[in-house]
Structure 1
């Protein structure tokens, strides 16, 4: 219990200390007009309040990641708490803040455009492919997972394909309509449900005195549970997730002032970390040890853990509300996944999105492909999603490092976690069955060599960019309006 409570306390302290340090290091410009005003088109670019932006950001980035990931991560034992806390403060929140703020400085540009500017034009095409693939996988996975949970919640009384069709219909509307018409109106209510349900489970764990394992050298993690590199792919959204880099530009286009960035980007990642801690603790404590947890997951997946834990801690009514809070997570990330994919493709092809017809012909093929992907085994999709997700996180962290290097600021803040995850990403794909299937030793050696080579290329490009005074932000001279 003490490890769990200390972890949550450290996350909150991290927001007020390291978050403030990162904000000061980046250098907020309160008088600089944001894309919400400069590029206002009434669809994707428009000003919204900080509370609304914060809740939308939280729901955009969360998905099932801070629930399902930590539940699966609980199988690794209390070491999962370390990755959630350290990863969230020093990697995930830094990743989200820098991506959001650099996007604000560049008319709300998405990651492919930022990668093109700061890592080279070739990277624009590479990252565009990565981002669209990732978003399609996210959108597809976040159709099937909430549909399955709702099907269980309704005792199978409504056919699964009907629930999937209804979710797809909502996604189509949320993707095509202006951001303030559906997302802006519904998310405050969804956000309240999410936070109340997570808080209810957390309080329930403490009040009922659940035996949450403490971190110690003897109880670091269960025997046979290999931590490196699998833990860092199992728990992603609760610690570090590249998916967030595809979501923050949605809110960078609606943020009214740069001073709001720490609350919206850094703060909501910390909030997601707290949710991850709660569900990791529930997984470790409520099923008679790791073997019991494994049996529940094998029988019904992480969704079964959510259902049983919620009902046990909060009763039938409270448990149902908690499950609905979890259902909200993937739905409110799935809709913005498709919206982001539309925006990224439009940006890549330089197609204005003010007209509905322009949005429609980009969005329709995305939904057709996603519908086809729902026929593929979920477990296979999830494995590829995990690797693509963390690879995207590495790219986003290196974009932040390049920006800060050119600006002659502390680029080690994103570079250190970026380098660590680069090693994990390369090693994983060399070793994993979905990759090259090489031995563990060969994979680690290959990962180290690949990391060193890519770091050398980064510094070579960074020195050239600084020497050539690469512009760091969009020129908005002549624009006087600020929030």
Structure 2
């Protein structure tokens, strides 16, 4: 239990100490008008209170990633918890803060436009396609996962729940952000709170289960996978949303359009990621504890982390409490899937320069997205998850490079973004080159060497290009 509490304490301390440091480097300006007021349209640009924006941001970014990812990552042992803590504080929360605040400084623009401004036109075109692909994959993952859990919970056909969730997503994608998302999310947040607090307390007081049984400090630095699967770089792809996730870069601009004051940025963006890290730690600890060890976890998973969610929730909280906890888990992907499609619509709207005040124009962009999403739901979930994981972390690396270029252009401490960007670039390149299903199938040593070289070359290119860029009048105005 001590290790779990230490990890929670480190995440909270990271928010107050490193989060304040990151905020100071960026230079939030409380008196500066935000896009919520400058571009107020009653649809996507809607001023909302600090607490409401935080809650929506947390539910937007916390899909099944901070649950399924940590459960799968727990097979490697407590090293998964170490990555959640370190990754969340120094990479994920930094990534989320800059993806949100750079959008605030650029009239609420989406991530492709931010990438284009600070990394160039070619990067923008690449990111437009990449972000849409990622959001479609996210939407599909976050339809299939809750539909599967609801089917398991009720015994009804999964296709029924797929249809119901699809209809909800379509409505939530096109109506004003404060009509459904702004009103339902407080209720969903209550379910999430019950799930998080209830399962934690139940595990602590349980007489049948011990929190992190038999694990010592050495286990945090070892690979304990029962099947001896390599930890590097798979762990850093598997645990995405609980440590760092490029999907968040597509979500932060949604709340950048609703934030009333730049001073709220650390609480909303950095703080929501810390909250997600705590959720990830909870599920990682449950996975390591409920089944009595790594071998028991592998057997209890039975090929799907959804089985761990079901067994742990009903086992710790009983039938009624378990149902409420599972509903809390179901809420997470649903509240991320709807905003994934909403983000995709807005990215397309920016690309085609199409005003979104008219419902017909929103439908014109949303319907093709849902048609493609419906086709992808028929693809095996495991295949979709693998592609989602790689696309997700590649997007995270791209957003961190964008933030690094911004800091370089303004003569600020860019290393807070450059170091995690270099690490994540190494992870993605190494994983793709080593993977026999998604990449080249090269030996790990060769793949890693090329990954390091590629990441360092990218760092050199970004630094050289950004330092040679003169800050233009638009940038000066944004900083004023």
Q: Which residue of 1 aligns with 2:162?
A: 164
Matched-pair contact (CA < 8 Å) for 1:143–1:168: yes
> TM-score, normalised to structure 1's length?
0.95
Counterpart position of 2:223? 221
TM-score under structure 2 length normalisation:
0.96
Q: Choose the corresponding residue for 2:194, options 191, 196, 199.
A: 196
| Residue equivalent to 2:376 | 373
Equivalent of residue 362 in structure 1, options 361, 365, 371: 365
- Is 2:420 the partner of 1:405? no
1:461 corresponding residue in structure 2: 465
CA contact (8 A) 1:106 1:474 kept: no
Per-residue CA deviation, residues 176-205 of structure 1 (Å, 9 max, x unaligned), is 000001101101110111122111111122
Measured after TM superposition, the shift of residue 472 of structure 1 is 3.0
Who is 2:65 aligned against? 65
Give runs of aligned pairs for residues 65-214 of structure 1, distance below 5 A: 65-154=65-154, 156=155, 158-208=156-206, 210-213=210-213, 214=215
Partner-residue secondary structure (3-state), 2:340:
helix
Q: Alpha-carbon deviations, 1:189-226, whole Å to 9, x = none?
A: 10111122111111122222624143422563316242
Counting only pairs closer than 5 Å after superposition, residues 284-295 of structure 1 correspond to structure 2 as 284-295=288-299
3-state DSSP of counterpart to 1:472: helix
Alpha-carbon separation, structure 2, partners of 1:266 and 1:113: 21
Structure 1: gaps spanning 5 or more residues: 478-483
Q: How many residues align?
A: 473
Q: Which residue of 2 aligns with 1:481?
A: none
Q: Deviations over 1:369-428 (max 9, x none)?
A: 000001111111110100000000001111111111111111111111111011011111
User: Whole-Å Cα distance in 1 between the matches of residues 454 and 84 of structure 2?
Assistant: 26
Alignment of structure 1 residues 423-462 onto 2, 5 Å = 423-432=426-435, 433-462=437-466
The residue aligned with 2:318 is: 315
In structure 1, the residue corresponding to 2:389 is in which secondary structure? Answer: helix
Counterpart of 1:217 in 2: which secondary structure? helix
What secondary structure does 2:386 align onto?
A: helix
User: Could you give the per-residue CA deviations for residues 263-305 of structure 1, whole angstroms, max 9, x where no partner exists?
Assistant: 1101111011011001000000111211111112225x11110
Aligned equivalents of 1:468, 1:235: Cα separation in 2: 37
Query: What whole-Å deviation, never above 9, does each CA across 1:299-346 have from its counterpart, x for those lacking one?
Result: 5x1111011111111111111100000000000000000000000010
Which digits, 9 at most, give the CA deviation of each residue in 1:226-247, with x for residues without a partner? 2210000111100000000000
CA distance in structure 2 between the aligned counterparts of 1:388 and 1:9, rounded to whole angstroms:
31
Contact 1:105 1:473 in 2 (8 A): no
| Deviation (angstroms), 1:463 | 1.4
**Which 10-residue stretch deviates more, 111-120 or 219-228?**
219-228
C-alpha contact (below 8 Å) 2:410/2:471 kept by paired residues: no
Displacement after TM superposition at 1:473 (Å): 6.8
Note the C-alpha offset of 1:452. 2.2
Does structure 2 conserve the Cα–Cα contact (< 8 Å) formed by 1:135 and 1:340?
Answer: yes
Instruction: Tell me if structure 1 keeps the 8 A contact 2:408–2:463.
Output: no
Instruction: Flag structure 2 segments of 5+ consecutive residues without an equivalent.
Output: none
Superposed CA RMSD in Å reads: 1.5
